[in-house]
Chain A
């Protein structure tokens, strides 16, 4: 049992890596790049949603913020694109400090609403600051510079950018399986108990928020460089919604689920656009509702659950299971605490 489990993980990793390497051969390379970026974004969001129990509805601010800053650095400095992308990630992390500070103490839907409100403020600023951001037209003409290499071919860009995406995945994986990640999961499962053990839960949530934002900014920066421009849509709330949808679709708290959800949504969007179909939202929305109704754990979560119940085994490590259905993963204890005797 344990041996098969140990064996299963590297196989998944090898398969994932293999797929990442051959993807541009299988599908249109720019779409492959989009999938890679959205997958990283979804994983970064899952770090909060699945492992900390916080549903952020404002991550467009970090994805889009990363996109604009990476674009601006690339346009105005002419530095190699990885520097621009990392600058975007750093900006997203810095932006997340005040937003996270003001929102992590809120629970459930209130946290979601406040993050949404901040993200819309960022959208408003980006839209108004035309001289810098290009307003509604977006930031055009972002170059892909890397020591004079010719990256104009999307196929080449995919392979040059892939290490950064993979580094992002490794970071999420490491965070989830670190002492810090263990505390995050304990906060998710039982906030009151974590506090009683002496853990300042808001500060842990804040760091998780900043890390998640930083990785979202990394993904957004790579996306903007890949497209050659940063669009206003990247900071709009629909972007946040799409990322949440990808995570829920694939399976909250599974990491792989975010990747799968991103691949499905991006591929489906691309298919519908190519087919000239107008009502993309209706199709993706319907699929989303169906999946959520039928498979509450998401696609990956449901598949793993079936495998686990069939083999009769328990999960490997505590973080491997999704926190049930609720986005705010904290169960009863705080209610018991707050009520009079």
Chain B
């Protein structure tokens, strides 16, 4: 596919003889929302960790536009423009949301090497941080320790952190995992709002969310691509339906 901003070719990851990801080709079009779905153990999260540098691929390549991401460390991948959220909420419990976002905004600036300055110098990012928190609906909770936030708010902070890096590609690992209906709806709205001008790749179990957000869907099974296409096509694909047998409520 031309116009792919993020492209994986023949991507594989082997854990002690077990191929969690087994020759995956993936092309994510610029400006699209691309969902990765599949039953548990299909290799979605492993693929995610390969794309973000948290795992090194056993084989294959990853490109972001003109950059080769293959085998790069997570911080390089983040700098080059692929930001991620974590499936299991991953924050600094004692820092406030504002401090989180300030830290994210400071990461490309070099300010954080200055061990001789006061940490108050990070406040120069306060205005932008509050803007981002406002965008995800966290402005009212900007000053309490993140460890005490409600679950939905922690997820929103995850999103704000990824957005703070102003990424070319935003990778969301199960953004609605563990959420109630109301929070799911709010998250869908949020993703819809922030996707403007961005490319989004998301791992998602909730098919309603996939249906309402994704332009394209890649279905994984046993580490391989089972099917790929628009959601409307994918949902009728007999291979996909049979892959989801026993997980029947996943495809509506």
A residues near B (Cβ < 8 Å) are 174-175, 177-183, 185-186, 189-190, 192-193, 195-201, 204, 207, 211, 314-315, 317-319, 321, 332-333, 336-338, 340-341
The interface residues of chain A lying within 8 Å CB-to-CB of B108 are: 198
The interface residues of chain A lying within 8 Å CB-to-CB of B145 are: 314, 318
Question: Is A200's CB under 8 angstroms from B73's CB?
Answer: yes
Of B35-43, B126-134, B191-199, the segment with at least 4 beta carbons within 8 Å of chain A is B35-43
Question: Is A341's CB under 8 angstroms from B43's CB?
Answer: yes
Nearest Cβ on chain B to A313's Cβ, whole angstroms: 12
Question: Is B75's CB under 8 angstroms from A200's CB?
Answer: yes
Residue in B closest to A335 when the chains form the complex, CB atoms: B88
User: Is residue B99 contacting chain A, with contact meaning CB distance below 8 A?
Assistant: yes
B residues near A (Cβ < 8 Å) are 15, 18, 20, 40-46, 49, 52-55, 73-76, 78-79, 83-84, 86-88, 90-96, 99, 103-104, 106-108, 111-119, 121-122, 145, 161, 165
Please judge, given known A-B contacts A180-B114, A185-B92, A340-B20, whether A197 and B119 are in contact too, CB under 8 Å: no
Question: Is A341's CB under 8 angstroms from B45's CB?
Answer: yes
Residue in A closest to B101 when the chains form the complex, CB atoms: A197
Please judge, given known A-B contacts A186-B95, A318-B94, A336-B88, whether A199 and B113 are in contact too, CB under 8 Å: no
A–B Cβ pairs within 8 angstroms, 21 of them: A178-B114, A179-B111, A179-B121, A179-B122, A180-B113, A186-B95, A192-B54, A195-B73, A196-B52, A196-B78, A197-B78, A197-B104, A198-B78, A199-B75, A199-B107, A200-B73, A200-B76, A211-B115, A315-B94, A333-B86, A340-B43
The interface residues of chain A lying within 8 Å CB-to-CB of B46 are: 340-341
| A-B pairs under 8 A by CB, number | 133
Q: Beyond A186-B95, A186-B103, A314-B145, list 8 extra A-B contacts (CB 8 Å).
A: A175-B116, A182-B122, A190-B90, A196-B161, A197-B161, A199-B107, A318-B99, A321-B94
Residue in B closest to A180 when the chains form the complex, CB atoms: B115
CA distance A161 to B47 in the complex (A): 58
Please judge, given known A-B contacts A182-B99, A189-B92, A341-B43, whether A195 and B113 are in contact too, CB under 8 Å: no
The interface residues of chain B lying within 8 Å CB-to-CB of A198 are: 75, 78-79, 104, 107-108, 165
Question: Is A201's CB under 8 angstroms from B119's CB?
Answer: no
Nearest Cβ on chain B to A257's Cβ, whole angstroms: 17
CA distance A89 to B147 in the complex (A): 39
Question: Is B55's CB under 8 angstroms from A337's CB?
Answer: yes
The interface residues of chain A lying within 8 Å CB-to-CB of B113 are: 179-180, 207
Question: Is B87's CB under 8 angstroms from A336's CB?
Answer: yes
